[in-house]
Chains A and B, each alone.
Chain A
């Protein structure tokens, strides 16, 4: 390498990072062996020597931050979060998984279960059945609370497979019936002495839940079609399931999402012109059709659908190709996916998550001040 005197180097533009540093700051380089520059550089003075201020500015953020909804239906949602730091996107993901409350079956009172599924296993399976109800309408039940209409939902499951039928039957989640009046099972300690008053049950509902406006014409249901158990001839399941409010941190059954995650926006760059045979080769390599061929006199490969890149590194696997194709990830562009279990629609889940993060921030601020 020839020696270049320092003063012969080109002058750096002020208040702007040189291109390679800018790339390192904003992109993850997905090389063949390992990804590099995965970290975000947060320190405000990281580039002070270059005269570049690296601090986060709220107005900048406001200007640049964008949310783009790509796909939205009852259960799934895919949207882009652009111009945000990975830590905050991750905070949303973490809150979605573990801190958003839902209702889930916590207590199962088994009156009779002669199926092959053991009671504990049955209870565990029931617990994981998503309940389609807005958890915001309910309170948490703390240790010494009694179950009432504000903090519990009671379901009943009574299913019997007749001995005569001679065939097996499947118990599905939609066989769970909502009991708006609460439990029907009488507490054993309750002696029959005062038969005048209503016998005390496992819940103490003061009013029926279906009298509430929210549930008036909208009975609480669970996600249908989930197999709970199978019954042979003569077997029977009779139980009551009590659902309470909780968060995914305690148990995964309270997680409102099946999962939620993000990926950084893929960026596929052709460092050189790839033409003719090579172009065809490249198009063939990619299993998800990221590349296309464009005809500009010669056939040239172009990057048509970088977003669908799954980072299989097939295009740079062969020696020599790493110089031709660069796989990168944009560090502040997140393709966020939420798969709801059905309690709340995914867009509501996200706004709830934002609210929780907001709460947390406020708590920190009040603590600090």
Chain B
């Protein structure tokens, strides 16, 4: 990919639509919802189906489907009299209205809703076909449906009798993720069908005409681009309006935030829930045990969507649909007995298990464990898909086989009798590059398990912990974390919300986007930022250590002194060393795209225009073609684009193009005043309508200023409170001067011990010249450094074991009265910068309708004195100031009023005279 200018490390997974990168957000749904509900009301069981106007007693349905004897139903439910007792009221109910036969039942249903048989056949549990090609049984055989209903009834009764048998709604195994492919296929189907309809309509219209001049050609009537436009629209707005499937969803796509590689990566693993977020429920927000290893336990937003929006863990794979046919035939080969060959009694017989494939009852098997093992062996051998899951549920006496899409699964090392299949020589081959992950998978050393199948597995965290019963060994425990959470060093020492905050904040950190970041932009991003100089963290975290994420770092190692300094460090503000900033600490580059176009008109078009040099200064950066040239310094109000527009684009039809009068039109750069940016690149391209488009990338290098936001990797954000000369900074015995000073009050309430350990580890790292690792799970296995070892290293290099140094004040020259905790911490610069937010105004623009000052920085809006500000002024006693702000500053408006009739006067613009000049008087509205 690199020769083509694409980053080889780019994970993909997004669409480029209209010059924007859009990632579709995965949405998690409860398992595909069927529209069939069997409900118990007042001890009687009913079927609720949209196609039926009212609920239908279940026994009636059974009878309508041909199960006429009550005994058969009870027999199928199982011998236990408990079930029969529960069903009894329903049976009695049916008998009381005098319905005994299929015919009677159908007639009864037909009376209520027409076409009841058809509804039962096609709409009621539609996944079980009645007749048709798939089923060899003759038409209108409802036996399988009856079995299905009975299984449903039995499950319901189990749940009534025993609350434990209830399904957990939040269980991840019961959820499916909807990926962009499914969404797009829905959209495509809808668009395609609409197009067909439209074409049919058009063609019909033409064909119905009595006389046609030319030969009919249907290809002429195919609508061009309607599918493309529809897909583009949905992707770029994120609104999925598929009327055919009653789907109206908003925000299905999001712009990929290209602030740092991890940020972009993290935003693509996001999973949003389908139901509305305002629900005040705790169940779905809580951490589910079943999300272990599948979804990141840390990465979730704060506030409204907390716990509902989730992120994938590092190695999670989301399955796609797989063909069911081969699996069904395999199952029958391995001894699944078809239901139609069994009597009702055997349905719930304790000696055998039901085999269910994607919610379809295939049949029964007498030796379920054996069957499951055979299927699993087939999967490891590659005979069925890698992501087919086989799950034996002993409680429900079922074997579930799932091959549908949207399940989350993760890879695990297979262990036979507690011995991992991956041996040392495999690892050596991996290191030598002979093997890769796929070859492990192909040879059956690793397999993917979904959440359900995990329940049948006994997974050892480490190889050494495996016992005889162990079936799988974890590949690496830290993979339960997601991409963002994996970047936190020593996260297990932090208070858990801090890790969550960091996950959100890591996405705002500015860093390298990709290897091709200097080439990007023309297509995709509006604003991208990157630090001038980026470091690898000295104290690495888990993900950073394994991946090559290091090449795309998003921060710098700052030597931090944890101490109080100057009072400009309250409320998490940090004090920065000016010399460090001079030397390039915390710089970032902000890119901004502005575009201009040469318009085409009916007969004329915009022309290049070469600037007239003798003019004023503002056009200096223009080249002879009227475009700013790359590398030029551009300031506020500078002209970066100049063209010749025809004065009258419409009326110039008659005249020769060369005679059309032109006027010069200019575009000026609007940037921060007093700042100098640089034209980074100028790209010429043509847009859809073949107009020549010019895109300017404006690059602005910023050094940190007071108010810029920084954060460490522990959810500890803070703005720069003040910038202090190096000579005023404290210095250590070795002459080390910190880059920034952080107030110690940041620690006690946040309890980010991980940050302290990061400092220690980094300090040891720089003194011994080795990266230190801070994986959450590495301490027992030796993949992470322990504090004791770190302290030992520190002492060996002459530091105090606790990382506190003896510092001298740079102002007085005397030693400080405390030892100061000092060392390197990885700091990130966040995208919130003062330059983009600073705003103040006095007089300024007003809204047209209300004549009140405009709102917002972009419109140069006013600053509201709200109630709290008003309270302050009252408390201060500045009555005149309040009076001015509330009465004079915004509202008053002068009008002319007629003294006689009291109407507002106006200027008659045609005659340029005032109406009734004599009686007018001025009036101040306020």
Binding site for B on A (CB under 8 A): 28, 30, 34-36, 38-40, 86-87, 89-91, 93-94, 97-98, 110, 113, 116, 118-121, 124-125, 128, 248-249, 251-253, 255, 259-264, 287-288, 310-314, 317, 329, 337, 339
Inter-subunit contact B799/A251 (CB<8 Å): no
Given A252-B579, A253-B582, A259-B735; A39-B701 close (CB under 8 Å):
no
Q: Is the CB of B801 within 8 A of A317?
A: yes
Which interface residue of B589, B726, B816, B818 has the most chain A CB atoms within 10 A? B726
Decide if A94 touches B796 in the complex (CB within 8 Å): no
Q: Which 4 A-B pairs have the closest CB atoms?
A: A90-B813, A252-B582, A310-B798, A252-B579
| A255 touching B579 in the complex, CB below 8 Å, given contacts A93-B813, A119-B631 | yes
Q: Is A90 a contact partner of B812 (Cβ separation < 8 A)?
A: yes
- Chain A CB within 8 A of B310 CB: no
What is the CB-to-nearest-CB distance from B552 to chain A, in angstroms, rounded to a whole number?
Answer: 15
Inter-chain contact B816/A35, CB cutoff 8 Å: yes
User: Which residues of chain B are near A124, meaning CB under 8 Å?
Assistant: 532, 584, 587
- Whether B797 contacts A287 by the Cβ 8 Å rule is yes
Tell me how far the C-beta of B51 lies from the nearest C-beta in chain A, rounded to whole angstroms.
65
Which residues in chain B, 13-43, are within 8 Å of chain A measured between CB atoms? none
Select which of A91, A93, A116 is within 8 A of B518 by beta carbon. Answer: A116
Q: Are A94 and B733 in contact (CB under 8 A)?
A: no
B699 contacts chain A at the CB level, 8 A cutoff: yes
B817 within 8 A of A: yes
* Contact A28 B582, beta carbon cutoff 8 Å: no
Bound Cα distance from A288 to B818, whole angstroms: 23
Out of B680, B735, B806, which one reaches A261, CB within 8 Å?
B735
Name the interface residues of B725-743: CB closer than 8 Å to any CB of A. Answer: 725-727, 731, 733-735, 737
Over the window 767-808 of chain B, the binary record of Cβ atoms lying under 8 Å from chain A Cβ atoms (1 yes, 0 no) is 000000000000000000000000000111111110000101
> Which residue of chain B is the closest to A87 with respect to CB atoms?
B813
Select one of B589, B813, B817 contacting A118, CB under 8 A.
B589
Q: Say yes or no: is B405 at the interface (Cβ < 8 Å to chain A).
A: no
Chain A contact residues: over half helix, strand or loop, or mixed?
A: mixed
**Which residues of B lie under 8 Å from residue A329 when comparing CB positions?**
815
Asked if B814 CB lies within 8 Å of chain A CBs, one says: yes
Shortest CB-to-CB span from A230 to chain B, Å, is: 13
Once the chains are docked, how many angstroms separate the CA of A262 from the CA of B734?
8
CB neighbours (8 Å) of B795 from chain A are 287, 312, 314
| Contact of B816 with A38 in the complex, beta carbons under 8 Å | yes
Q: Which residues of B contact A (CB under 8 A)?
A: 518, 532, 578-579, 582-584, 587, 589, 631, 678, 680, 699, 701, 725-727, 731, 733-735, 737, 794-801, 806, 808, 810-819
Question: What are 20 inter-chain pairs, A to B, with CB distance below 8 A?
Answer: A35-B806, A35-B818, A39-B814, A86-B812, A86-B813, A90-B811, A90-B813, A93-B810, A118-B701, A119-B631, A120-B699, A121-B701, A124-B532, A259-B731, A263-B733, A287-B797, A310-B799, A311-B733, A312-B798, A312-B799
Contacting residues, chain A, for B578 (C-beta < 8 A): 252
CB distance from B261 to the nearest CB of A (A): 17
CA of A110 to CA of B795 in the docked complex: distance in angstroms?
A: 49
Assess the B814–A38 pair: CB atoms within 8 A: yes
Question: Contact at B798–A34, with CB atoms within 8 Å?
Answer: no
A312 to B733, CA, bound (A): 11
Q: Give the chain B neighbours of A317 by CB distance below 8 A.
A: 801
Given known contacts A116-B518, A252-B726, A259-B735, is B796 in contact with A86 (CB within 8 Å)? Answer: no
When chains A and B are docked, how far (Å) is the Cα of A337 from the Cα of B583?
21
How far, in angstroms, from A119 to B532 measured CA to CA in the complex?
11
Using Cβ atoms and an 8 Å threshold, which residues of chain B touch A287?
Answer: 795-798
Across the two chains, which residue of chain A brings its CB closest to B578?
A252
Q: Are A310 and B631 in contact (CB under 8 A)?
A: no
Bound CA span A314–B587, Å: 39
CA distance A242 to B532 in the complex (A): 23
Which of B583, B699, B727 has the most C-beta atoms of chain A within 10 angstroms of its own C-beta? B727
A84 to chain B, nearest CB (A): 10
Q: Name the residue of chain B whose CB is nearest to the CB of A264.
A: B815
Q: Compute how far the CA of A359 lies from the CA of B819 in the bound complex, rounded to whole angstroms.
A: 36
Chain A minimum-CB-distance residue to B613: A188
CA of A39 to CA of B813 in the docked complex: distance in angstroms?
A: 10
Instruction: Give the CA-CA distance A10 to B735 in the complex, in Å.
Output: 45
A93, A253, A311: most-surrounded residue (chain B CB, <10 A): A311
Q: A-B pairs with CB below 8 Å: how many?
A: 117
Whether A118 lies near B699 (C-beta < 8 A) is yes
CB <8 Å contact, A30 and B701: no
Complex Cα distance A97/B812, Å?
A: 15
On chain A, the residues within 8 Å of B727 by CB distance are 93-94, 97-98
| 17 extra interface residue pairs, beta carbon distance < 8 Å, beyond A255-B726, A261-B808, A287-B798 | A34-B819, A35-B806, A38-B814, A86-B812, A86-B814, A87-B813, A98-B725, A113-B631, A118-B589, A118-B680, A118-B701, A128-B584, A252-B583, A252-B726, A261-B737, A263-B733, A312-B795
A35 touches B733 (CB 8 A): no
Complex: chain A residue closest to B589, CB-CB: A118
Given A124-B584, A251-B582, A311-B806, A97 and B726 touching (CB < 8 A)? yes
Q: Separation in Å of the B7 CB from the closest CB of chain A?
A: 14
Closest approach, in angstroms, between the C-beta of B592 and any C-beta of chain A?
A: 14
Q: Find out whether the CB atom of B815 lies under 8 angstroms from the CB atom of A314.
A: no
Question: CB-nearest residue of chain A relative to B806?
Answer: A311
With A261-B731, A314-B801, A337-B735: A87-B812 Cβ-Cβ less than 8 Å: yes
Taking CB atoms, residues of chain A closer than 8 Å to B587 are 121, 124
Residues on B with C-beta less than 8 A from A86 are 812-814
B532 / chain A contacts, CB cutoff of 8 Å: 118, 121, 124
User: A250's closest neighbor in chain B, by CB?
Assistant: B582
Chain A residues within 8 Å of B806, by CB? 30, 35, 311
Nearest residue (CB) in B for A338 is B735
Q: Which residues of B lie under 8 Å from residue A30 when comparing CB positions?
A: 806
Residues of A within 8 A of B699 (CB): 118, 120
Q: Are B816 and A94 in contact (CB under 8 A)?
A: no
C-alpha gap A315/B699 in the complex (Å): 55
Whether B800 contacts A314 by the Cβ 8 Å rule is: yes
- A113–chain B nearest beta-carbon distance, Å: 7
Closest CB in chain B relative to A250 CB, distance in Å: 9
What residue of chain A has the Cβ atom nearest to residue B579's Cβ? A252
- Chain B residues with Cβ below 8 Å from A252 are 578-579, 582-583, 726
Closest A residue to B583 by beta carbon equals A252
A35-B819, A312-B799, A313-B800 given as contacts; is B812 within 8 A of A249 (CB)? no
- A35 pairs with B801, CB closer than 8 A: no
CA distance A205 to B394 in the complex (A): 94
- Residues of chain A lying within 8 A (CB to CB) of residue B680: 118
Nearest residue (CB) in A for B819 is A34
Q: Which residue of A lies closest to B577 (CB)?
A: A252
CB distance B801 to A312 under 8 Å? yes
Q: Do A34 and B818 touch (CB < 8 A)?
A: yes
Question: Complex: how many Å from CA A81 to CA B546?
Answer: 50
Q: Is the CB of A36 within 8 A of B799?
A: no
Residues on B with beta carbons closer than 8 Å to the beta carbon of A90: 808, 810-813
A40 to B733, CA, bound (A): 18
Residues of B within 8 A of A34 (CB): 817-819
A94 and B810 form a contact (CB under 8 A): yes
Q: How far is the CB of B256 from chain A (nearest CB, A)?
A: 23
C-alpha spacing A259/B796, complex, angstroms: 25
For A116, list chain B residues within 8 Å (CB). 518
CA separation between A35 and B815, bound complex, in Å? Answer: 8
What's the Cα separation between A43 and B105 when bound, in Å? 110
Q: Please, which residue of chain B has its CB at the minimum distance from the CB of A96?
A: B727
For A260, the chain B residues whose CB sits under 8 A away are 735
**C-alpha gap A347/B680 in the complex (Å):** 45
Q: How far is the CA of A124 from the CA of B588 in the complex (A)?
A: 13
Contact partner of B800 (CB less than 8 A), chosen from A38, A251, A312, is: A312
Interface centre among B799, B806, B818, by most A CB within 10 Å? Answer: B806
Tell me, in angstroms, the Cα distance from A337 to B732 when the chains sit together.
12
Residues of B within 8 A of A261 (CB): 731, 734-735, 737, 808
Partner of B737, one of A128, A249, A259, A339: A259
CB nearest neighbor in A for B809: A90
**Are A310 and B735 closer than 8 Å at their CB atoms?**
no
